[in-house]
Amino acid sequence: MHTPCHLKLHRKMKLLLAVIVLINSSSVFAEPDVSAILAASDQARGGALPGIVWEIKLISRDGAKVEEPQRLAIKAINQSSVATTLEPIRFKGARLLQLDHAMWLTKPGLSKPIPISARQRMSGQASNGDIAATNYAADYVANISSTAMLDGELCYVLELTAKTKRSTYDRIRYWVSVKRGVGINAEFYSLSGKLLKSARFSYDNVIRYEGKIIPFISKMTITDALINAETTMEFSDVKVQKLSASEFDLGQLQ
């Protein structure tokens, strides 16, 4: 027969055991590291690498009109990139330089680079460059808002908020595959909450870095939410390559 003291001790032991189980369960189901998730997804699009080069075939549609295809050579490192036009021939040699949040355009015949304003960066090739840029971990504060299924994949749905007013987009909603660690969908919003563009991503390329094989973006489809326009970018000849700072020197852009 249990005495009242024994019963009290028994209840205390059960309570202590329940607390231990709860603590252990909490550690198992701890909140994912959103910074690590975002950094990994950046790497699959060129971020956090010593340098990367690739080519892009770019096709744009504005309403029923399909623009002439373009072919660009890209070099990027950290928050710097330069895109050089290879085709069409009449635009060959035109360059778009991005340093942090600033952009300049130059082409044969211009005496000096032309700065690209924030408003100009909202459309055309400049905007595509911003979406293709992979500095989300550096440029945005990230939170996991939920998980959701997309194209049969479980995804973290990240809410990215710009750290400064210099970012082209004030907010990005970003779907990152839980299994693959790559971003597969994004929505780009203005400060007022208006949807400006959306993008879908495919990863059929691979790169090798520090002994690892990393999936790398192969196709990006950007849809304008304000006008009937769409741009498709196909990535090829991707290589991790150490790049010199002089590659991104504004004074050497001509």
Report pLDDT digits (tens) over 130-150: 666 677 998 899 999 999 999
Tokens of 79: 């928050």
**Given pLDDT bands bounded at 50, 70 and 90, which one contains residue 18?**
very low
- Alpha carbon distance 236, 57 (integer Å): 8
Tokens of 208: 């090798």
Tokens of 193: 């909450």
Averaged pLDDT, 5-17? 51
Contact (Cβ atoms closer than 8 angstroms) between residue 214 and residue 208: yes
Averaged pLDDT, 12-27? 45
Tell whether the model's pLDDT for residue 10 goes beyond 80. Answer: no
DSSP class per residue in 79-139:
TEEEEEEEESGGGTT-EEEEETTEEEEE-TT-SSPEEEPTTGGGSHHHHHHHHH---HHHH
Tell whether the model's pLDDT for residue 20 goes beyond 50. Answer: no
Mean pLDDT of the chain: 84
Tell whether the model's pLDDT for residue 29 goes beyond 60. Answer: no
Averaged pLDDT, 229-243? 92
Averaged pLDDT, 14-18? 48
**Given pLDDT bands bounded at 50, 70 and 90, which one contains residue 254?**
low
Quick one: pLDDT at residue 3?
57
For 144-192, the pLDDT digits (tens) are 999 999 999 999 999 999 998 877 789 999 999 999 999 999 999 988 8
For 75-85, the pLDDT digits (tens) are 988 778 899 99
Contact (Cβ atoms closer than 8 angstroms) between residue 139 and residue 73: no
**Given pLDDT bands bounded at 50, 70 and 90, which one contains residue 118?**
low
